[in-house]
């Protein structure tokens, strides 16, 4: 024989806060201070060399 059971209470879904869309990409990026790129380093070395050569040329008799 079938037995009557009372209906169960519905579970209420609580809405969660939406995720911040900017956090995930920022965690994948390199953090901290970045140094100069290779091209900037080469340019700086070239300028330093030219400056030293110009200074040596001025000192020579």
pLDDT confidence band for 8 (50 / 70 / 90): confident
**Rounded Cα gap, residues 44 and 55, in angstroms:** 16
Burial of residue 15 (CB within 10 Å: 0-12, 13-18, 19+) is exposed
pTM over 0.85: no
> What's the confidence (pLDDT) of residue 54?
93
**Rounded Cα gap, residues 24 and 26, in angstroms:** 5
In the chain, the N- to C-terminal Cα span, in Å, equals 120
pLDDT confidence band for 19 (50 / 70 / 90): confident
**Rounded Cα gap, residues 46 and 39, in angstroms:** 11
Domain residue extents for the chain: 37-61
């Amino acid at each position: 024989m079938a037995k009557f059971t009372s209906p169960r209470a519905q579970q209420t879904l609580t809405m969660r806060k939406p995720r911040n869309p900017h956090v995930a990409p920022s965690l994948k990026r390199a953090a901290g201070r970045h140094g100069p790129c290779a091209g900037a380093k080469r340019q700086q070395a070239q300028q330093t060399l030219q400056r030293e050569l110009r200074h040596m040329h001025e000192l020579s008799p």
